[in-house]
C-alpha cells in the first residue's frame, strides 16, 4: 500500500508541473536579441574608450551592430503588434492531458513492465532471514566462506560431491585440485580428481584425468576406482585388450562379495570379452553420480539397477515437461539418454530442449553446445 501511496504522490507532482504554468497569467517574459545587440554596442564603446580599437574601426562596427539592432527591434514590434490573446481551449486541452492522460498513461505503462508485487530485497535483510536456504544458496554461502578461508580443505570436501550432483563438474574438479594442494596427495584424492575431470568431459577420460589415476596407482597400486578408470581410458583409446587385462586382473584379486565385481563384469561384457549379457549403461563412466551412488547401485542386482536408473531418468523427463526452464536438467537428461544408448529419445529430447529455450538466445546457445558435444545431432 505504501508503494501505491508514494506512486500517487509522485504522479501528483508530475501533474503539478504541467498545471502550474497554466495557472499563471501574463505574457512571456524571456530575454530578447535586442538586449544582446545593445550589449555589443556598449562593448564597442568601452573598447574605444580604453583605446583597444581605433575610432574608424569602432565607427564601422557600430554601424554594423546598429543595423542588427534596428532589425531586431522592428521584428519584436511586429510580433507584439500581431499578438492576440490565445484561445482558452488550448489550456483546457493541457489540463485534460495533465489530469487524465498523464496518470493513466504512466500507470498503464508501469503495470505492463513493472513488478509492484515484488518487495525490494537488500542483501543484509535477506541474510538475516535466511529464507533462501536452497542448495544453490547454501553453496553460495559455502563459496563465500571458502573465499575468505581459502585454506579450508574440509569445506572443499563438502562442496565437491555437491558440485558433482549439481552438474557443476568443472567446479568439482577445481575443488578436488584445491584439496590436493592444501592437504597433500593420497591415492583417494587423486582418484577423486580424476573422476571429477572425467565427469566434466562427459565421461571421457582425458589425459589430465588419466594422469591423476596413474598418480593414484603409484601411491596405492590397489586403488579400485583408479584401476577401473584406467581400464575405461584404455577402452576409450581403442585398446580393448589392455582394458580387458586390467579388469581381469582386478577380478582375480577381488575379495569375495566385493560390491564392484558386477560393474567390472558388465564393462567387460560391453567390450565383448566375456559372453555378452543384456546391454546396460556403463554406470561408472556416466557423469553425475558420485562414488557413493556408484557403490549403491553396484550393490543392486542388474535388473534392479537398470530399473532404478530408468526410473530416475523418467522422473527427470517428467519434471522437465513441467518446468522446462532447467538447463542443467536438460543436459543431464540428454547425457543419460546417450549413455543408455537411446539415441532416438535423445534426439527428441534435444528438439524439446531447443524449443524450451527458443526465446532465450543465451541458454539456447548453451544447450546447442551441449547437444553438439554429445554428438546427438549426428
Q: Site residues for other proteins, window 78-107 (CB under 8 A)? A: 79, 83, 86, 90-91, 94, 97-98, 102, 105-106
Handedness of CA 253, 257, 260, 262 (dihedral sign): positive
Only one of the segments 130-138, 194-202, 326-334, 351-359 lies at the binding site for other proteins (rule: CB under 8 A); that segment is 130-138
> Is 364 near other proteins (CB under 8 A)?
no
Q: Does 51 bind other proteins (CB under 8 A)?
A: yes
- Interface with other proteins (CB under 8 A), residue from 81, 118, 359, 378: 118
Q: Which is nearer to other proteins, 115 or 301 (CB)?
A: 115
- Backbone dihedral region of 365: left (phi > 0), alpha (psi from -120 to 50 degrees) or beta? alpha
Q: How many chain residues touch other proteins (CB under 8 A)?
A: 83
Coil, helix or strand at residue 17: helix
CB hemisphere CA count around 212 (13 angstroms): 23
Per rule CB under 8 A, is residue 32 in the interface with other proteins?
Answer: yes
212: left (phi over 0), alpha (psi -120 to 50) or beta: alpha
Among 81, 128, 147, 344, binds other proteins (CB under 8 A): 147
Smallest gap from Cβ 262 to other proteins, in A, equals 40
- Spatial CB neighbours of 64, under 8 Å, sequence gap ≥ 6: none
Q: In a 3-state reduction of DSSP, which class is residue 267?
A: helix
For 249, the grid coordinates are 586382473
| Residue (132 or 307) nearer to other proteins, CB | 132
Question: Which stretch in 30-38, 187-195, 250-258, 337-345 sits in contact with other proteins by CB under 8 A?
Answer: 30-38
Range in contact with other proteins (rule: CB under 8 A) among 110-118, 181-189, 299-307, 309-317: 110-118
> Which part of the chain contacts other proteins (CB under 8 A), choosing from 33-41, 181-189, 218-226, 298-306?
33-41
Joined grid coordinates for residue 227: 584401476
Among 6-14, 157-165, 249-257, 304-312, the segment contacting other proteins (CB under 8 A): 6-14
| Minimum distance, C-beta of residue 7 to other proteins, in the bound complex (Å) | 5
The correct pick among 78, 99, 135, 140 for binding other proteins (CB under 8 A) is 140
- Measured on CA atoms in the order 173, 179, 182, 183, is the torsion positive or negative? negative
Cβ atoms within 10 Å, residue 209: 25
3-state secondary structure 74-125: HHHHHHHHCCCCCCHHHHHHHHHHHHHHHHHHHHHHHHHHCCCCCCCCCHHH
Check binding of 57 to other proteins (CB under 8 A).
yes
CB 181 within 8 A of CB 212: no
Distance from C-alpha of 264 to C-alpha of 244, rounded to nearest angstrom: 10
> Which part of the chain contacts other proteins (CB under 8 A), choosing from 10-18, 180-188, 241-249, 268-276?
10-18
| Cβ proximity to other proteins, 171 vs 306, nearer residue | 171
Cβ proximity to other proteins, 40 vs 201, nearer residue = 40
> Can you tell me which residue has the cell 505503462?
109
Is residue 316 involved in binding other proteins (CB under 8 A)? no
Amino acid at each position: 500500500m505504501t508503494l501505491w501511496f508514494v506512486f500517487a504522490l509522485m504522479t501528483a507532482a508530475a501533474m503539478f508541473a504541467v498545471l502550474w504554468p497554466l495557472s499563471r497569467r501574463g505574457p512571456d517574459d524571456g530575454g530578447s536579441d535586442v538586449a544582446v545587440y545593445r550589449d555589443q554596442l556598449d562593448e564597442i564603446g568601452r573598447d574605444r574608450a580604453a583605446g583597444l580599437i581605433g575610432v574608424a574601426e569602432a565607427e564601422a562596427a557600430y554601424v554594423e551592430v546598429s543595423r542588427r539592432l534596428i532589425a531586431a527591434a522592428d521584428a519584436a514590434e511586429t510580433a507584439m503588434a500581431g499578438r492576440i490573446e490565445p484561445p482558452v481551449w488550448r489550456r483546457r486541452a493541457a489540463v485534460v492531458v495533465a489530469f487524465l492522460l498523464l496518470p493513466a498513461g504512466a500507470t498503464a505503462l508501469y503495470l505492463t513492465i513493472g513488478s509492484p508485487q515484488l518487495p525490494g530485497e537488500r542483501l543484509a535483510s535477506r541474510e538475516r532471514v535466511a529464507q533462501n536456504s536452497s542448495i544453490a544458496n547454501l553453496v553460495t554461502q559455502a563459496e563465500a566462506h571458502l573465499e575468505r578461508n581459502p585454506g579450508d580443505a574440509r569445506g572443499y570436501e563438502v562442496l565437491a560431491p555437491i558440485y558433482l550432483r549439481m552438474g557443476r563438474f568443472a567446479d568439482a574438479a577445481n575443488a578436488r585440485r584445491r584439496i590436493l594442494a592444501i592437504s597433500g596427495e593420497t591415492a583417494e584424492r587423486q582418484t577423486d580428481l580424476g573422476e571429477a575431470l572425467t565427469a566434466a568431459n562427459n565421461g571421457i577420460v582425458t589425459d589430465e584425468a588419466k594422469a591423476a589415476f596413474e598418480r593414484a596407482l603409484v601411491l596405492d597400486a590397489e586403488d579400485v576406482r583408479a584401476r577401473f578408470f584406467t581400464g575405461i581410458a584404455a577402452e576409450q583409446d581403442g585398446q580393448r585388450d589392455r582394458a580387458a587385462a586390467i579388469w581381469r586382473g582386478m577380478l582375480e584379486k577381488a575379495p569375495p562379495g566385493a560390491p564392484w565385481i558386477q560393474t567390472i563384469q558388465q564393462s567387460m561384457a560391453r567390450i565383448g570379452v566375456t559372453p555378452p549379457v543384456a546391454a546396460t549403461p556403463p554406470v561408472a563412466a556416466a557423469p553425475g553420480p558420485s562414488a557413493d551412488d556408484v557403490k549403491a547401485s553396484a550393490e543392486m542386482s542388474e535388473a534392479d539397477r537398470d530399473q532404478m536408473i530408468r526410473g530416475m531418468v523418467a522422473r527427470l523427463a517428467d519434471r522437465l515437461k513441467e518446468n522446462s526452464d532447467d538447463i542443467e536438467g536438460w543436459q543431464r537428461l540428454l547425457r543419460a539418454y546417450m549413455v543408455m544408448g537411446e539415441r532416438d529419445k535423445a534426439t527428441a529430447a534435444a528438439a524439446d530442449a531447443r524449443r524450451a529455450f527458443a526465446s532465450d538466445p543465451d541458454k539456447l546457445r548453451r544447450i546447442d553446445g551441449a547437444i553438439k558435444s554429445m554428438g546427438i545431432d549426428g
